[in-house]
Amino acid sequence: MNAIQPSRPPLQPIQKRRVVPRPKRHLRQRSYRVMALETTAKIAVNVAISAAAVSALTQLLPYHWSQQEKLREIRTEVKLMEGRVNILQAEFSRNFDPQQTKSIMEQQGYRFEPNQRPVVLINQDGKEVEASKLLP
């Protein structure tokens, strides 16, 4: 333990590097530039998106108008068919009505009961006007 120990240099405080404060003016200028670039980039992206949306609308509007026209045509056809279906349903129910079978047979078969006579009215021109039945 009596060994020779190396001599130590006297302890001196280590000088820390001093942080030199930057001038605030440069920091603010830089942050304003970054904000300006960021805002410009945002505006450019929004303009590009808006241009794409306007382009899509200009392409889709004529298609939309043609589809609306087709829809109007189909709706008018449906109304016409509904009227026709109503007429056919009325005729169908009349044809299968048991109380009207006699009159339907007379209309479609030109057969009359023995006690009925057909009456045909003729104009002076010789044209047939109306055919009706005369009851005795």
Sequence-ordered list of residues with C-beta below 8 angstroms from that of 74, at least 6 positions apart, any chain:
none
Question: Is residue 47 scored above 50 in pLDDT?
Answer: yes
Flag the least confident range among 1-5, 47-51, 73-77, 78-82: 1-5
pLDDT at 36: 93
* Mean pLDDT along residues 33-60: 96
Closest CA to 108 of 117, 99, 100: 100
**CA separation for the pair 92, 69 (Å, rounded):** 34
Contact 114, 133 (CB under 8 A): no
Contact 119, 113 (CB under 8 A): no
pLDDT digits (tens, 9 = 90+) for 59-118: 999 999 999 999 999 999 999 999 999 999 998 888 888 888 777 777 777 777 777 777
Contact 136, 115 (CB under 8 A): yes
